[in-house]
């Protein structure tokens, strides 16, 4: 295709570009310009913690700890995530399975339901504080002897709860199945099953667990 450009004094020039080529080259130029002009995003800044950390001092397994925590931290998360005591298990995280049971100031509690800040100055015992592989607590040894576990996930909570149950019975604290609320509870299978009902064993080792607790308590169930 030849055409005459008025600016060239009538000199003919040869245009090799077709309309399609012209449109494509123009679109490519616009796209390239857009990419080049795009602003470089700034590096992401860490989101500041809106909750100030709270100092906490408590004794765990006989050792004093001073930590700083978010006030929303549960005792279970403090034990597992900050103190690295992973024996206490996070099962349902709703206080229904008992896998997280620990002994706080002499009483068994679900650590997943208790805020850590509530234990300022307190004393907590976990499964790690009851015994060691070289020196088992009598309740740990009884669970092994009577095969009171299968998968073992709930066992730390079961053992902590069982230790506290014996102390409850010896202290004369009644349960919902105690026949006489004014008399010392009897160490019966019914009493033990009621008191341990908050600790769920998905493997169904309940009978063996009762046998283990009965042996340690020195009673007949």
Per-residue pLDDT tens digits of the chain, which is 221 residues long: 455 555 555 544 455 667 667 666 665 665 555 555 567 777 777 776 677 899 999 999 999 999 999 999 999 999 999 999 999 999 999 999 999 999 999 999 999 999 999 999 999 999 999 999 999 999 999 999 999 999 999 999 999 999 999 999 989 988 888 888 888 888 888 889 999 999 999 999 999 999 999 999 885 44
**Helix, strand, coil content of the chain in percent (nearest 5):** 40, 15, 45
Q: What is the pLDDT of residue 24?
A: 66
**60 and 111 in contact (C-beta within 8 Å)?**
no
Q: What is the pLDDT of residue 43?
A: 78
Q: What is the pLDDT of residue 181?
A: 82
CATH architecture type of domain 53-130: Roll (3.10)
Residue span(s) of the chain under CATH 3.10.20.30 come to: 53-130
CATH architecture type of domain 131-221: Orthogonal Bundle (1.10)
Residue that is written with structure tokens 């607790």 in the block: 213
Q: What is the pLDDT of residue 80?
A: 98
Q: What is the pLDDT of residue 220?
A: 45
Residue span(s) of the chain under CATH 1.10.150.120 come to: 131-221
Tell me the three state secondary structure of residue 75. Answer: helix
How many CA within 13 A on the CB side of residue 108?
Answer: 24
Q: What is the pLDDT of residue 221?
A: 47
């Amino acid at each position: 295709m030849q055409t005459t450009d008025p600016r060239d004094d009538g000199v003919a020039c040869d245009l090799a570009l077709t309309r399609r080529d012209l449109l494509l080259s123009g679109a490519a130029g616009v796209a390239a310009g857009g990419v080049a002009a795009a602003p470089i995003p700034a590096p992401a800044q860490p989101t500041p913690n809106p909750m100030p950390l709270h100092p906490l001092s408590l004794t765990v397994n006989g050792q004093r700890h001073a930590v700083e925590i978010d006030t929303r931290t549960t005792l279970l998360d403090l034990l597992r995530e900050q103190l690295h005591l992973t024996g206490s298990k996070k099962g349902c995280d709703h206080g229904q399975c008992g896998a997280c049971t620990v002994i706080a100031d002499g009483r068994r509690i679900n650590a997943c339901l208790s805020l850590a800040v509530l234990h300022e100055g307190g004393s907590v015992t976990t499964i790690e504080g009851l015994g060691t592989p070289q020196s088992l607590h009598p309740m740990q040894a009884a669970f092994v002897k009577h095969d009171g576990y299968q998968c073992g996930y709930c066992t730390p909570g079961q053992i902590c709860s069982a230790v506290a149950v014996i102390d409850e019975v010896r202290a004369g604290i009644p349960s919902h199945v105690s026949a006489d609320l004014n008399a010392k509870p009897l160490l019966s299978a019914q009493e033990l099953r009621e008191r341990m009902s908050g600790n769920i064993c998905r493997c169904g080792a309940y009978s063996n667990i009762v046998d283990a607790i009965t042996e340690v308590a020195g009673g007949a169930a």
